[in-house]
Amino acid sequence: MSTKTNRPFPLILEVDFLDRLHEPVRDGQAASVSAIIRTALERYDFEKVIVMHPQQLQVSVRLPGEIRKNLKRLARTKHTSISHLVRAAVEAYLPSLEIPVAAKRQTARRKLARKPQRKG
């Protein structure tokens, strides 16, 4: 049996998490980020892992060509998916739609709470 050398194994990690991994290396508590990851993998009990996948649905949206082109370009430059960009934009926009609805509900409640005045 031939022995293979350890080859790099690419992982995608969030920047904040990666920063946390660099702290013990800077403080001299670990030799490298790779050493931290290897040790963590050796010690972790994977029986405890609960994989959560939020329910997702595919949606088709008609987009003007210019918006579609911009989304593709942005996704490439930001190293993310078009869906992630769309989700971010919609999540930022939704509050502007939800505030007027809440305000309308409050106004309707106030009107119901008022007693009708008699003319007399």
pLDDT along the chain (120 residues), means of 10: 70 90 94 94 89 83 94 94 92 85 68 63
Q: Is residue 4 part of a domain?
A: no
SS (H, E, C) 47-113: HHCCCCCCCCCCCCCCCCHHHHHHHHHHHHHHCCCHHHHHHHHHHHHHHHHHHHHHHHHHHHHHHHH
pLDDT for the residue numbered 110? 73
Do 103 and 73 belong together in one domain? yes
Q: Could you tell me the pTM of the whole model?
A: 0.49
User: Is there a contact between 33 and 22 (Cβ–Cβ < 8 Å)?
Assistant: yes
pLDDT for the residue numbered 59? 85
Q: Is residue 2 part of a domain?
A: no
Do 99 and 74 belong together in one domain? yes
Q: Is residue 108 part of a domain?
A: yes
Closest CA to 33 of 21, 20, 15, 41: 21
CB atoms under 10 Å from CB of 68, counted, come to 13
Domain hosting 82: range is 61-114
Do 70 and 101 belong together in one domain? yes
Domain count, the chain: 2
Q: Is residue 7 part of a domain?
A: no
